[in-house]
Amino acid sequence: MDTAAYLRRLGLPGLLTAPASAETLRVLHMAHVERVSYEALEIWLGRTTTVDPVESAERIIGGRGGYCYHLNGAFSQLARALGYDVTRHVGGVQGRGNEPGVSGNHLVLTVRGLPSDANPGGEWLVDLGLGDALHEPLPLVAGTYRQGPFTYVLRPSEVAPGGWRLDHDPAGSFAGMDFGMGAVEMSAFADKHVELTTSPESGFVRVATVQRRDAYGVDTLRGLALTRLGRGAHSVTLGTARDYYAALADVFLLPLDDVSAGEKDRLWRKVYAAHESWLAGGSA
């Protein structure tokens, strides 16, 4: 992995030789969620991906994003290269109305050894792969935390012994996430990745979703519906391919320079058809 190129992608080239600290971790986390969008458009483009963190990092360096296995996987590789003590964990994100559980549909990171005034124990929850959730790392300490328009609750998990539960804000896109504290390698997510990127029941397959967090809220594109939650809240439907690709470039920092004109045309047609199916009461 080209660590220097990754930091340039985040707009932080000066951190290449910076000592690991809680404040620097915070800066890295915020820059990542603000500059690297949560997206799974590779599925809609018919491209196969893996959970290899170096592959994910190269795609991010090239101007794209990813979902949790890609974003947290690549970030764990970056953080380790910068001297951070990072551990990967199996997690489970639950939609509203669903039972909590550690299903493996989410990769979680913790970083330890970084004490601060707000977190003397020095262990942090780091998660860049929740779409509209964390903007900054959270102290791995039970409590209620406010970030922008969202309030989170971190507490012991009821389904993962010794693990943790993050309750999302009621305005968020999911109910919460549980994770165990056991350390795992990226191979633990390989089978679930195949399911999430190919199954007709997968949310990534059913809806082309893109999200980008900032300090004041989150922008979300689901199909052709572009919404802003937080400061500057609004909602609009994108009616043309030009509007769609302008939103990807301007709002989500995804110019899709790696996508040909023919691929863009096919992607637009697929997203438009899915949106029309949804309007007609179909399965999209």
pLDDT of residue 114: 98
Angle between helices 68-81 and 22-35 (to 10 degrees): 140
Q: Return the percentage of the chain with pLDDT > 90, whole number.
A: 96
Written as six digits, the tokens of 79 are: 């953080």
Q: Render pLDDT for 242-263 as a digit per residue (tens, 0 to 9).
A: 999 999 999 999 999 999 999 9
CB neighbour burial string for 27-60, b if at least 16 within 10 angstroms, e if fewer = bbbbbbbbbbbbbbbbbbbeeebbbbbebbbbbb
The answer to whether 69 touches 51, Cβ cutoff 8 Å, is yes
Q: Render pLDDT for 155-213 as a digit per residue (tens, 0 to 9).
A: 999 999 999 999 999 999 999 999 999 999 999 999 999 999 999 999 999 999 999 99
The answer, yes or no, to whether residue 36 has pLDDT greater than 80, is yes
pLDDT of residue 141: 97
Summarize the confidence of residues 225-252 as an average pLDDT: 96
Which residue ranges form the domains of the chain, and what is each CATH number?
3-191 (3.30.2140.20), 201-279 (3.30.2140.10)
Q: Return the percentage of the chain with pLDDT > 70, whole number.
A: 99
Residue 70, C-beta contacts closer than 8 angstroms, at least 6 positions apart: 49, 51, 56, 59, 60, 129
pLDDT of residue 278: 84
Q: What is the three-class DSSP state of 259?
A: coil
pLDDT of residue 282: 58
The CB-side HSE value for 95 (13 A sphere, CA atoms) comes to 2
Alpha carbon separation from 226 to 41, 143, 210 (Å, rounded)? 15, 32, 9
The angle at the Cα of 179, spanning 178 to 183, to the nearest 5 degrees, equals 175
**Residue the block writes with tokens 């209620």:** 144
The answer, yes or no, to whether residue 283 has pLDDT greater than 60, is no
The answer, yes or no, to whether residue 18 has pLDDT greater than 70, is yes
The answer, yes or no, to whether residue 77 has pLDDT greater than 50, is yes
Q: How confident is the model at residue 284 (pLDDT cuts 50, 70, 90)?
A: very low
pLDDT of residue 280: 86
Angle between helices 261-279 and 241-250 (to 10 degrees): 110
The answer, yes or no, to whether residue 217 has pLDDT greater than 90, is yes
Q: Is the four-CA dihedral 43, 130, 135, 15 of positive or negative sign?
A: negative
Average pLDDT, the chain: 96
Residue 115, C-beta contacts closer than 8 angstroms, at least 6 positions apart: 22, 121, 122
Written as six digits, the tokens of 268 are: 């637009």
Q: Render pLDDT for 105-127 as a digit per residue (tens, 0 to 9).
A: 999 999 999 999 999 999 999 99
d(CA 238, CA 252): 14
The answer to whether 92 touches 177, Cβ cutoff 8 Å, is yes
pLDDT of residue 281: 81
Q: How confident is the model at residue 279 (pLDDT cuts 50, 70, 90)?
A: confident
**Residue the block writes with tokens 């305005």:** 171
Alpha carbon separation from 278 to 152, 224, 275, 283, 284 (Å, rounded)? 31, 11, 5, 6, 5
Alpha carbon separation from 259 to 9, 60, 68, 265, 268 (Å, rounded)? 19, 14, 22, 10, 12
The answer to whether 105 touches 25, Cβ cutoff 8 Å, is no
